[in-house]
Amino acid sequence: MRLLKEYTIRLVFTAGILLGVQIPNFIDQYTQKISAHQLEATKNFSGFQATADKFHGGSINALIERHETSNDPVFQSEATPIKEIHSRIQAFSSEMKALNANLLGKIFHVAFKSDRAVIKETLSEYSATIPLNTDAIICGLGLGMISALLCDLFFFVLKLVFGRRFRRRVGPDAL
């Protein structure tokens, strides 16, 4: 039984390492997706920004207001897409700033505050690799240790719960 426990803990530790090294890799792929979306939105927005620069001193809000207050329904309908693209650019810029943090900051941000649509996109197109950089090694060993400790704790609890029952049935006189 002890041998099974030791091999299980080693297996869990190894699995933890392999999963842990994926964390920085996933964050890198997520960051690349955010960057690509930001570039695309900025490119799509460039014509509106040029118009705002030419007629409104660069103010996007003034351009949007002019579209919204226009008597032309076609011109009015353009206000919503301009707002949406501008909002996307700002959201992607905020994401890029948040991802320009230390490893723990990036992990926390991606886990709890990231763009869920881009997370789903990253997961669906994720390519697992085993990078050997400092962040991957730190995450791998950290997750490996946590996994092994949790596994060891699990076996300890099992021993507490079932070990007492077994000792009561068998008892010291039964041997």
91-104: per-residue pLDDT in tens? 999 999 999 999 99
Residue 170 lies in a domain: no
Are 114 and 156 in a shared domain? no
Residues 103, 38 within the same domain: yes
pLDDT at 172 over 90: no
Any idea what DSSP says for residue 97?
Answer: H
Beta-carbon contacts of residue 20 (< 8 Å; ≥ 6 apart): 136, 139, 140, 141, 142, 143, 144
The model's pLDDT over 139-164, given as tens digits with 9 standing for 90+, comes to: 999 999 999 999 999 999 988 888 76
In a domain, 171, yes or no: no
Q: Are 44 and 50 in contact (CB under 8 A)?
A: no
Query: Are 45 and 82 within one domain?
Result: yes
116 shares a domain with 55: yes
